[in-house]
Amino acid sequence: MTSIGIGYPREPAVGKYWWLLLLSGILWIIIGLFVLEADFDSAVLIGYLVAFWLLYAGVAEFMQMGISIGWGWLHVLLGVLFILGGIMALISPFQTFTVLASLIGFFLVLKGSFDFGVALSVRHALDLWWLVLIGGILQIVIGIWAAGYPGRSAALLVLWIGIGAIVRGVVEISTSFHVRKLHEVVAA
């Protein structure tokens, strides 16, 4: 057994916490469905919804940092950026609505680029690497689209947030089962 990073023994923990990814994926899908089903009449309410979405994205990145092998610093960086964005959205929810497309667009392009790079780097080790690749490409495309049209209506922005949450949930659920499979192989 070797230690990588800040004293975390990584080999036995490769899949030990696979269920955290499964739980996180399920929560992302529930958030996405809630967002798509909600009736929003207030820009402030949308600002608070975005704040919650960003804060949860930050927590999810820290969870992934704890169970991933390598690239942990990038999960921490993304987690900090998501949480800072969530705090800013809580402080000023009405302004959040007006800059939503640019802010979320930037984060999606950043996260999608990270997922794209990770998928390519693990394509020989993971059977489902292509799901992470597709999720990364979708995040990049949606992020560029959102950044290009900051004046979209609330309905389009809510649709975009809901679909993004569902896509991330599906990717995390798929990844959780692959991580579980790796754990069974490593434990055997």
DSSP 115-155: HHHHHHHTTTT-TTHHHHHHHHHHHHHHHHHHHH-TT--HH
Do the domain assignments include residue 172?
A: yes
| Rounded distance between C-alpha atoms, residue 154 and residue 41, angstroms | 9
pTM: 0.53
Q: For the chain of 188 residues, list the mean pLDDT of each consecutive stretch of 10.
A: 41 69 90 78 73 87 78 87 91 76 75 92 86 91 74 64 87 88 74
Do the domain assignments include residue 19?
A: no
Domain total of the chain: 1
Do the domain assignments include residue 132?
A: yes
Do the domain assignments include residue 131?
A: yes
* Domain coverage including residue 86: 34-177
Do the domain assignments include residue 128?
A: yes
Do the domain assignments include residue 26?
A: no
